[in-house]
Structures are given as C-alpha cells and as structure tokens.
C-alpha cells in the first residue's frame, strides 16, 4: 500500500498544520487504516500539543472536530503505538485546560471509549503497563465530570480490573498511583464503594498507608483520599471498625504529627483526619474512637497546631471530629416542659399542646431516644440513574401557587349580630361632642394680680371640667392576682450592715403602710399621682397613723396647678418635670428611699407604701455602698441633662412608684414577689454609640476546645447547682465567691444554673408555659461578682440553628451601681461571643418528632466593673407588661384633651385575667358643628398591634415611639391625628410577656399562627382583635393600613413583609400567570416611603411573597379575609444595621423609638399620596412622592423567602466548623472554622470597652 504524502510543515503555520494533520488522520480512519501512517500522524500531533498551548486551545475550541477525530481513531485502531500516542495527546489536552476540556471529552463519549479500551487491554496477559497508566490517568481526570460514570464503570467491570492491578503491582508505584486515583473516583458512587469494600479494598488501603516516611508521600496522600471516600460507606466504615483500623489511624496520625516538624506533609495529616471523620459518622466508629483515647489525642495535637495559622485545617477537622464523638449529654432537667404549669380551660384536640397533655407521665421527655439508627440502615443498592432529573435550582415549596387561594376574599366570618359586641369600642363614631367649649383657653397676662389670677382660674376650672369629660380618666387598677406575698425590689446578696449615709436596713424590711408628712412630696406637685385619684373625691394625705382632709384652699391650689399645666399644654412647650429616663425627680426623698454618699437626682424615691392587697418590698442590695467616682457630680448631671433636652416634649413616662403599684395587680403564673431594678429605675439610651462587635479569629474553636476539656479533664469540673426553679427549696451556701442568680420577677427567664468551673456557668432557660421548646429569651439577675475577673456564661438550650450573636450582636447588661451613678441604662456587653451546636441532645418530643437533634449554646464572657454589684442580663431591652400599663397611664394623665382624643379600653381579658389594652387616638374635632363631626367620623383608620411574640421586646420599644409621637405636641403629629383614627393593641400577648415566654401565650401556642381560626377560650386577644377588624369591615370603616410590629433575630435593619399576588406568582417562575394578574401596587408605597425617611429601614430586605406556612398569620389573614391591601409585618432587628445612617452600629431603644415615630411620619406622607387634593404640596415634594409611586410599581429584585418562624433564609455565612450528623463531606477551606467579618460588617466595629461618645 502506497504511503500518503505528508504536507510540508515548513510551508504552513502551526494552526493550519494541526488542521492538516487532523484532516489527514481522519482520512486514514475512513480510507486506508494503515498503522504506520496513523502512528506517524499521531506522533506529529503529540509533538505539537506538548510544545504549544495554542495548539491545545485550537483542538478543544468550540466547533473544532479535533477531539472527535482522536476519539474515533482511538476506538478503531488496533495499533498499540497509535493508541499510546492518542492517549498521551488526550492527557495533554485535559491536564492543562481544567474542567472545561475534561467535560468536552465526556460530552463526546470519551469515558465510554476509555472504559472499553481498559476492558480490552485487561484481556492481555500481562496487560501493557504504559497503556494502563495512561487509561487510568485519563479516566481519573474525566470520570468526575461524567454523572453516570459510576454506573458505566460498574457495568463494564472496570472496578475489578483496577482493583486487581493494584493488588498485583503494589511495589510498582508508577502504576499504582493512577489506579488509586481512579479508585477514589469509583468510590464516590455508594454502590461502587460497597462493591469495592466487599472485595477487600479497605484492607488493601491499609497495606499502602503507614507510619511517617519521607518516601512515597504522593502515593500515601492518594491512598488516604481514596480511603476517606471508601469509608463514607457505612458498610466499609463498619468493616474498618471491626478490624481495629480506628486505633491504627490514630497511631499513624500521632506518628506523622510528631515527625512532621516543618509541616510539609499537612495534606497527609489532613487525609488521615478525613478518614477518621468518615468512620466516626457511625455510632460504632465514635465508640471505637473514644475507646482508643481519640478525644485526648486529637485535643492535644490540635492544641499543638494552634500556634501555626497554616495548620488551621487540621485544627478545624479535629474539632469537627471531637464534636461528633463528644458523648451526647442529657440536659440536666427533670422535664423539658416549663417549670411552671397553667391549666388550660380547653385542651386542644390536636397539635403540640395536645401531645404534651397526652404524654404518659412515665415518659422521660428529656432523653434522646435516638440510637443512631444508621447502624441498622441497609446500603442503597440502587442509585439515581439520571441525575439531570434533580432540580439543581432552589425552589421554595412554601410559596403559595394557587391564585384562587391568593386572591383576597373579604368575609366577615361571624354574624353581624355577634360583631355588634365591638360597637362600644367605637365611641368616636357615635359621640356628638356636645360638651366641646369653643376656644377653651384662657390667655393670662403676666401683669395680672394673684387675686385676679385665682378668680380667673376658678372660672377656668369650671370650663376645663367640661373639657375633661372628653378625656378618658385612667382606669382603676385591675383586680389583684396571685396575692401571695410581698413584692420585693429584688435581692441576691447578703444584707449590708446599717451605716449612716449608706444603704439602710429599711431597704430589706417590709415597706411601712404609711408615710410621715414631712417625707411626702406635696400633693399638688405630684401631678402624676394626683391624676390617679378622682377629682371629686377629697384628697387624702397620710401623716403618721392619722389621716386628715386637705383644706379647700389646698385643694384649690392643686387644681390651680393642674389648670396651669393645661394652659402650658395648650399654649406652649411644657417644661420637662424630670430626667429623660422617665424617672421622676424628687427633691424630698421619702423616709425609706435609697440613700447614698452622693446625690442622684434622677432616681425616683422608693415610695414604700403599703397598698391594699400585696405589699411591695425592696430587697437587700448586694453592694455595701455606692462607689465614689473621680468625675464630679456636676459633670455627670450635666451630661444627663443634655440628654433631657432631646426628649419628646411631654411628661416623662416612667414613675417608679406607679410601676410598683401596677406590678402588684399584674397576674402571673409563678407568684412573683420581686421587682427587677431595671424595671423599677427605668432605662434611658446611653449617650454613646455601640458598634457591632468585631469577632476575634478562632473564638468558636476556642470555646469548643474548652467544652471538650470537660470530658478530658472531668476532675476539674465543679458541676454545682447554683439556681434551680424546679427545686425552689434549694439554697446555695452564702460563703464562697460564686455568683448568685435570680429570675423570679416579671418577664424573667432563667431556669437553672450550674457552676462548671470557678468562673464559668451553664445556664438553662425555661421553655414557654404549656410547651417544651422555644428557648431564646432570657432575663435574669446576677450578684456577688468580683472585679477584674472574666465570667463565662453558657446558655446551653437554645434551639435556632443560627443567631446574630455570630455576627456582632451582644447581650445586654444593666448595673444597679451604674444606675445610682446617674447612668440608668442597658448597655451591650460581652466578649468572645459565639453561637454553636453543643453536645446536649434534644429529644424527639422537643424536636417535633425528629431524632438526633442538638441544642445550641450562646456563650459570652463578661468582666464586671463593680464589686458586689447587682446586674441584670437580657436577650434584648426588656419591656414588661407593667411598664406598658405605666406608660399608658402616664400618657393618659398628661395629654391635652382639647387637642387629642385619647381613649383606653380593655379589649378582653387574657387566660390569666390580665387586661389587654385597646387604644383609640385621633384629634378632637374642631367643634361640634355638623361638618366638623362628619370630617371626624370619616377619617380613615390605622390599625396597629405589637408584641404577639413576648421575646421580641424591640417591637414594644417601636410601639412606644409610635405612641409618644402620636401623643406629642409636634405639628406633624397633630396633622396626623387630624388625618387618621388610630386603633392600637400595643401588646397582643400580655400573659407571655409577664411569664417570660419567648414565643407563645399560656396556651402553649404561637398566637401569630392562630388568626385563621382563633379560639375565644385559648386565644382571646387574637379572637377579639380579629373580631374588631371584622366589625370595622362590616361598618365600612376598613383600615387603610394594618401593621403588626415584630422583632427579627437573624437579620439586620428594619424591614417589612407585605402581601402581593403578583410577586408571589412571579417567584414561582410562572411568568404567564404573573402577567395575567392585575394588582394595585400601592402596598409598596409605605415601605418605600420608610426607606427614604427612616434611617434603620431597608427596602431590599422587604418581602411581599405569601407563603403557605404563613396563611394563619395576622398579616396574611388581615389581607386575605379582612381585605386590607396594606397589611404588613414590620420586623426590627435585634442586632443592628448594615446600611444607612446606623451602619455598623447595634440598635438601641433610641433607634427603635425613632423607628416608631418615623412610621407615623410615613403614614402622614402616605395620606398625602392617597389624598393629594387635600394638600397643597411644593413641587419638590410632589416630584419626590411621584418618584415613590413610580418606583413602587416596579418589582426590582427577588424577595427573600420566609422559611420558619417569620424568619427569612439566613444569607450570611454560617460559622460552624462542625455538625454532629453531617453526611455530606465538604472539603474544608483553610478558614472554615472562623467567621471573618466582611468589609461592611467590619466598618464600624470596635472593642467592647471603647465607646465613641456622641457629639
């Protein structure tokens, strides 16, 4: 046969040369398959591909047929040298180009051709070594790109061929290396891994790996990777455990750790750890690891590696293994049910509460009955044949896709006759205001004599009495509940000795029933107390044991002061009566008031008066006296007074005496007898910024290592119970330096404390009453501390999978010593803060039937500034039910009845008999003329609610800001009142708040999941709030806006959830259905306004998608059933902001109250947008508001899905270096164990101690 004429290489460029060679090779395949010609052409192609990268690119470029020609030749040729040439060419092509070129080879059927070639070559005896090396090398590189490679290799019998090659050539490292690489690829398929294990591949790997050696390190590394892949199969892992290989792996690891001084073989050490990680996924593997002293070995070796940053992957993997193998501990409780019990009037038929009541008493609901059932599971014998069927795109099945279900269907749900029971809550729609006296003001010239002033004011009093008929006087205090013992303003320490000018012994005693006249403030100066009494009744003052009636002249003087106060409210700004904290200033301290060596003018007197019912008792303080400070009093007071200038122009809302009186009538399940100092003293925002905490590198693994030390060095653990609600008779010895704890006060939550080490304590939270979970909210007292000592607190039974504590949030602390030094505020404290999965197991009863779940730990370290202080810690700024009642009474007693229509009703009583307040706020009509009354009654309604979840205290602070703004003298507030009538339920879950629950009411259910079918006996507040809305719909006074205030634990900023059919359908990727939906986009207008006006608000975090799991929430039900288009949930962060004015700062009560006020401003702007003809707007404002409307009509970005508990998916990087039950083996990057803050989160971070003062 004639030889083909080869083109002259010198006359062609390299590109045309390779094209010509490929064309010639293709011609050889089809016309004259001559071995010598094919050998010659392929050798030329090999030379070009080895020498020039552009040739490799040309052959693998899109549209090139080069690879097809090579594969066709490889499939058809019988010549060994031609085969080797083509294999070498393919190795060159895929070795440099990465995954794209390997995928191209797979797409052209390369793996099937190579597997067939491997099968054919294996039939020769002996098989050609070079051919086997090249084929295995190619398959090891292309196999991972072929989704069906596992099935193909098993069907072709390639597994046995490769395994036999390794067995027969253990000393031939050049051949064994690519064979091991291919075995690793085979093992990624679970069926193949089982098959290989049965054929002795695990035992074979242990013949290759061994102690430290400088030889064959590459082979050792590949063998370890292959072993780790094989051991992911439970069958293989079980085989390795049975043969004692866990101990072998630990021995090998220690040997490599000891000899690898220069850390050049870190990958080998990590490979051993990966094998251990795989085998310890099995219960038997974990037991073998513990028996082989693996915990101590890995702990010691990882501690040796901490000094070298490049060894972090070893530390992280060791930590992961140790956390897996740490024996699951029982939570040290008798039951996971709440320590308090409340008998429900009705037991639900189904649901978690029904299961709780039906649980047999002999069942231990704390222990985890999970026995690692994976030991009994059978290996999967089949695999998914077509992985393309798996939808790789994220799909949220929770999104409602049925448009018929999405469309609002306004329906009353209850007969109109039944709804008429709510008619009495709408006096504003029936009152004719005949008592209005026009121009009910008196201008009093300053030159008027005192006699004339007195006469004129007497006349004014008669007029003002008529005006007062419009204002609703404060309600009498509710009936007493749990009148068990005296209320104590709390104690946790030893009573100090009586010393002059120090904290007196009277602080501990029961408060005497009467005060001496000389110690009581004149009644006509104490307007807040006076307003509680009826104006028509004689004013009683107590003097010793005698009562006397105030003379008529004194009574008149008191009324004159009231009248002057009214004049001030009407004609100008009212002078602030006390410190901004809301704590009443009193220059005449009571007999039993707290005294100290320096004056504290902002602190209210204790007012220890014996009232009817329970008596109030101030507990002993733990400190012996108030520490002196270098700063003088004037400097401290001046900074505080500067704060008061910025306060709202109205009477401060905090009154300590009033608070104590209200507490006595608050009904709780446990019989609280104490008042927490922060609630008694009050809180003001600190005058400095509190940056989001910068997280130190390695803090989580350090904490985990300390936890592991508990198992390794058990003798160092104290394990002493320091506080226990389940054993109220348990007393802690007074001696010693241990901390003392307390949570027996309103909203308190701390169930048990165990001292672990000298300065470390495990804390266990109480579950919600009638529930066995929801552990997140905490509020407790600590005393008996020393200065200069770092105390570590571990809250060990949290349940959420992540927390903002991992991203810069700090817990809050309130120091009584600081409060007595004119600093009565909650501050963010704590270092070394992190949130991670721990070794305490959750029973399936507590985990909704899921087995093997673990609790999570919040850990933080605090150094106290004062010795023997009384400090309080809280999850977020506390806001109790009694605080709300106090604020409402102060608002009611201080408002201007000529301007503000304010009415407080009781919507209903809760399960425990507490009242649920309902507020009505609007502007008084200008007169009782017909047109003014009509305008008044036709004002649109705004319906607001808050605090359905007790642990979301930030929602109450936002509501406080809203209420204060609505009741203020601000001109915009007055315009807002003239525009709307506000119906407000400021606390939907009083019982949950009072009893320290995190999420539920006393029914043990999340009230925000009961709006579809609320039970009047179990969910009275929701039943009647919904009934109120249904009545408003029935009388054609549908609210323009409904907003439910909430708090968010896993996102930053403030944002809203709304309801939109179009956006919900749009997220189902059903574009056709989305285009057919016609919807008013006005639901976006209010959030858009807030994004422009409220610094903490973030529009990009807002969502308007309706989820199936949220169908029974207030937002969705009010939208769908009541027909309110602008129905929202407004979520406020518990942490801080990552955008806007407050970027990098933790959120405080100042910002939360500002958000409440800005929400009101947003409503005012919304009114101007919805009623433009009523306002003459400047052009610039019109352009701005038009822009709002236009931008609100565009769906710009995907909405964050809401997955659980009103919480969207947590998008920030999760900082877990270990999961107890990981099945997916993810290659750990070097920094996996520690979260490094992004530039945005790092912007304003600072250490806890450095506080930047506000200008």
415-430 burial, b for 16+ CB within 10 Å, e for fewer? eeeebeebeebbebee
Q: Which residues contact 120 (CB under 8 A, 6 or more apart)?
A: none
Q: How many CA atoms lie within 13 A of 1091 on its CB side?
A: 19
Query: Which positions ≥6 away from 896 have C-beta within 8 Å?
Result: 566, 569, 570, 969
Q: How far apart are CA 445 and CA 642, in angstroms?
A: 31
Q: Which two structure tokens, joined as six digits, stand for 420?
A: 């008429």
Distance CA 661, CA 473 (A): 17
Q: d(Cα 658, Cα 1076) in Å, to the nearest integer?
A: 59
d(CA 474, CA 468): 12
From 964, 1131, 1151, 1248, active-site residue: 1131
The rounded distance, in Å, linking the Cα atoms of 151 and 383 is: 9
CB atoms within 10 A of CB 82: 25
Q: Where are the alpha helices (DSSP H) in 108-244?
A: 110-122, 129-142, 149-156, 158-168, 173-187, 190-198, 201-208, 217-230, 234-242
Residue whose structure tokens are 């009050």: 682
Radius of gyration from C-alpha coordinates of the chain: 38
Query: Would you state the structure tokens that stand for residue 1024, as one six-digit string?
Result: 């009647």
**Residues in CB range of 1147: below 8 A, 6 or more apart:** 954, 1096, 1132, 1133, 1134, 1135, 1136, 1137
Helix or strand holding residue 43 (H, E): helix 35-51
User: How many CB atoms neighbour CB 216 within 10 A?
Assistant: 14
CB 1048 within 8 A of CB 1207: yes
Quickly tell me which residue has 């009411």 as its tokens: 1001
Is position 362 annotated as part of the catalytic site? no
**Hey, which residues does 753 pair with through a beta bridge?**
723, 763
CB neighbours (10 Å) of residue 119? 14
Cα separation, 985 vs 982, whole angstroms: 10
Q: How far from chain centre, in Å, is Cα 1157?
A: 24
Start-end of H helices in 387-546: 403-406, 416-419, 450-468, 527-532
Q: How many of the other CB atoms lie within 10 Å of CB of 394?
A: 7
Whether the CA torsion 656, 660, 666, 667 is positive or negative: it is positive
User: Whole-angstrom Cα distance, residue 33 to residue 75?
Assistant: 12
Residues 363 and 663: their CA atoms lie apart, in Å, by 38
**Enclosing H/E stretch for 1052:** none
Euclidean distance between CA atoms 761 and 738, whole angstroms: 10
Is residue 764 within 8 Å of 725, Cβ to Cβ? no
At which residue do the structure tokens 């253990």 appear? 170
In the chain, what is the greatest distance between 2 CA atoms, to the nearest angstrom?
140
3-state DSSP assignment of residue 909: strand
What's the CA gap between 720 and 717, in Å, rounded?
A: 9
E-strand ranges in 830-976 read 831-841, 854-863, 870-874, 900-909, 915-923, 941-946
DSSP-derived letter for residue 31 is T
- Measured between alpha carbons, how far is 627 from 819 in angstroms, rounded to an integer? 12
Peptide bond into 126 cis (omega under 30): yes
Catalytic residue list: 1131
């Amino acid at each position: 046969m004639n030889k083909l004429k080869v083109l002259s290489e010198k006359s062609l460029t390299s590109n045309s040369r390779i094209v010509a060679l490929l064309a010639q090779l293709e011609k050889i395949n089809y016309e004259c398959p001559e071995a010598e010609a094919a050998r010659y052409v392929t050798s030329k192609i090999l030379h070009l591909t080895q020498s020039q990268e552009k040739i490799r690119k040309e052959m693998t470029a899109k549209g090139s047929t080069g690879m097809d020609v090579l594969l066709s030749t490889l499939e058809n040729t019988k010549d060994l040298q031609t085969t080797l040439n083509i294999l070498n060419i393919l190795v060159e092509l895929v070795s440099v180009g990465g995954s794209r070129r390997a995928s191209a080879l797979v797409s052209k059927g390369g793996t099937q051709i190579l597997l067939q070639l491997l099968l054919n070559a294996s039939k020769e005896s002996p098989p050609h070594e070079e051919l086997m090396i090249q084929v295995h090398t190619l398959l090891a590189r292309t196999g991972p790109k072929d989704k069906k490679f596992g099935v193909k290799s098993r069907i072709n019998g390639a597994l046995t061929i490769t395994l036999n090659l390794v067995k027969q050539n253990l000393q031939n490292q050049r051949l064994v290396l690519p064979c091991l690489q291919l075995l690793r690829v085979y093992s990624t398929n679970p069926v193949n891994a089982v098959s290989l294990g049965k054929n002795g591949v695990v035992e074979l790997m242990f013949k290759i790996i061994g102690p430290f050696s400088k030889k064959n390190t590459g082979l050792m590394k590949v063998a370890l990777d292959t072993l780790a892949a094989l051991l992911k199969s439970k069958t293989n892992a079980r085989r390795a455990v049975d043969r004692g290989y866990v101990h072998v792996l630990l021995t090998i690891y220690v040997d490599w750790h000891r000899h690898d001084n220069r850390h050049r073989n870190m990958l080998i050490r990590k490979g051993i750890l990966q094998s251990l990680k795989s085998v310890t996924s099995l219960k038997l593997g974990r037991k073998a690891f513990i028996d082989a002293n693996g915990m101590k070995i890995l702990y010691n070796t990882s501690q040796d590696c901490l000094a070298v940053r490049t060894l972090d992957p070893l530390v992280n993997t060791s930590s992961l293994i140790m956390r897996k193998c740490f024996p699951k501990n029982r939570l040290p409780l008798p039951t996971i049910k709440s320590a308090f019990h409340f008998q429900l009037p009705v037991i639900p038929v189904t649901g978690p509460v029904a299961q709780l009541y039906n649980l047999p008493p002999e069942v231990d609901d704390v222990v985890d009955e999970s026995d690692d059932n994976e030991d009994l599971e059978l290996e999967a014998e089949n695999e998914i044949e077509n992985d393309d069927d798996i939808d790789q795109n994220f799909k949220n099945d929770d999104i409602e896709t049925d448009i018929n279900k999405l469309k609002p269907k306004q329906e009353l749900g209850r007969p109109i006759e039944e709804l008429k029971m709510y008619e009495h809550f709408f006096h504003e729609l029936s009152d004719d205001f005949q008592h209005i006296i026009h121009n009910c003001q008196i201008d009093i010239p300053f030159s008027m004599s005192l006699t004339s002033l007195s006469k004129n004011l007497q006349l004014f009093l008669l007029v003002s009495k008529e005006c007062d008929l419009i204002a609703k006087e404060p309600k009498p205090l509710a009936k007493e509940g749990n009148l068990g013992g005296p209320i104590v303003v709390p104690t946790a320490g030893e009573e100090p000795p009586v010393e002059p000018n120090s904290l007196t012994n009277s602080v501990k005693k029961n408060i005497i029933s009467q005060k001496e006249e000389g110690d009581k403030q004149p009644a006509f100066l104490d307007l807040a107390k006076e307003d509680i009494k009826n104006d028509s009744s004689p004013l009683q003052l107590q003097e010793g044991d005698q009562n006397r009636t105030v003379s008529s002249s004194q009574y008149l003087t008191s009324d004159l002061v009231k009248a002057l106060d009214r004049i001030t409210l009407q004609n100008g700004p009212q002078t602030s009566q006390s410190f901004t904290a809301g704590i009443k200033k009193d220059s005449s301290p009571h007999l039993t008031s707290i005294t100290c060596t320096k004056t504290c003018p902002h602190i209210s007197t204790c007012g220890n008066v014996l009232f009817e019912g329970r008596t109030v008792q101030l507990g002993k303080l733990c400190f012996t006296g108030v520490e002196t400070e270098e700063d003088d009093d004037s400097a401290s007071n001046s900074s505080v007074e500067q704060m008061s200038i910025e306060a709202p122009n109205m009477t401060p809302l905090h009154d300590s005496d009033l608070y104590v009186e209200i507490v006595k009538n608050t009904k709780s399940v446990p019989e609280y007898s104490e008042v927490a100092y922060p609630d008694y003293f009050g809180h003001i925002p600190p005058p400095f910024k509190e940056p989001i905490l910068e997280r130190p590198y390695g803090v989580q693994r350090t904490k985990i290592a300390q936890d592991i030390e508990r198992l390794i060095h058990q003798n160092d653990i104290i394990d002493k119970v320091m506080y226990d609600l389940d054993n109220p008779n348990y007393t802690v010895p007074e001696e010693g330096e241990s901390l003392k704890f307390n949570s027996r006060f309103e909203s308190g939550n701390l169930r048990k404390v165990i001292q672990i080490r000298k300065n470390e304590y495990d804390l266990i939270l109480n579950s919600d009453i009638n529930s066995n979970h929801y552990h997140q909210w905490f509020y407790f007292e600590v005393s008996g501390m020393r200065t200069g000592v770092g105390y570590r607190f571990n809250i060990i039974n949290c349940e959420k999978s992540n927390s903002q504590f991992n991203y810069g949030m700090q817990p809050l602390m309130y120091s009584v010593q600081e409060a007595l030094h004119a600093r009565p505020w909650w501050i963010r404290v704590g270092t070394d803060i992190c949130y991670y999965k721990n070794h305490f197991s959750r029973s399936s009863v507590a985990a909704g039937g899921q087995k093997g779940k673990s609790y999570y730990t919040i850990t933080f370290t605090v150094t106290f500034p004062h010795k023997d202080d009384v400090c309080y810690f809280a999850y977020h700024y506390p806001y109790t039910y009694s605080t709300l009642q106090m604020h409402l009474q102060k608002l009611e007693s201080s408002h201007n009845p000529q301007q503000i229509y304010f009415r407080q009703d009781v919507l209903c009583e809760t399960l425990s008999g507490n009242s649920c307040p309902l507020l009505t706020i609007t502007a008084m009509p200008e007169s009782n003329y017909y047109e003014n009354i009509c305008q008044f009654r036709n004002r649109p309604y705004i319906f607001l609610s808050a605090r359905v979840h007790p642990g979301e205290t930030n929602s109450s602070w936002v509501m406080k800001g809203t209420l204060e703004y609505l009741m203020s003298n601000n001109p915009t507030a007055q315009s807002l009142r003239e525009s709307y009538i506000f119906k407000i339920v400021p606390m939907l879950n009083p019982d949950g708040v009072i009893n320290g629950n995190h999420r539920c009411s006393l029914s043990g259910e999340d009230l925000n999941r009961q709006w579809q079918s609320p039970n009047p006996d179990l969910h009275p507040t929701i039943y009647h709030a919904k009934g109120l809305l249904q009545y408003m719909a029935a009388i054609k006074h549908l609210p323009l806006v409904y907003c439910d205030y909430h708090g968010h634990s896993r996102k930053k900023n403030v944002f809203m959830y709304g309801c939109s059919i179009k956006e919900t359908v749009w997220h189902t990727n059903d574009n056709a259905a989305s285009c057919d939906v016609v919807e008013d986009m006005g639901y976006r207008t209010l959030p858009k306004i807030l994004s422009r006006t409220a610094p903490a608000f973030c529009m990009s975090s807002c969502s308007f998608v309706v989820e199936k799991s949220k169908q029974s929430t207030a937002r969705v039900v009010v939208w769908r059933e009541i027909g309110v288009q602008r129905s929202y949930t407004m979520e406020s962060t518990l942490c801080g902001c990552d955008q806007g004015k407050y970027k990098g700062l933790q959120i405080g009560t100042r910002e939360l109250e500002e958000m409440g006020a800005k929400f009101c401003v947003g409503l005012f702007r919304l009114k101007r947008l919805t009623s433009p003809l009523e306002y003459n707007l400047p052009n610039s404002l019109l352009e701005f508001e038009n822009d709002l409307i236009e931008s609100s009509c565009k769906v710009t970005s995907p909405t964050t899905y809401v997955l659980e508990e009103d919480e969207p998916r947590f998008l920030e990087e999760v900082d877990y270096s270990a999961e107890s039950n990981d099945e997916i083996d993810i290659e750990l990057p070097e920094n996996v164990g520690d979260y490094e803050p992004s530039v945005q989160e790092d912007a304003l971070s600072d250490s806890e101690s450095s506080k930047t003062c506000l200008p």
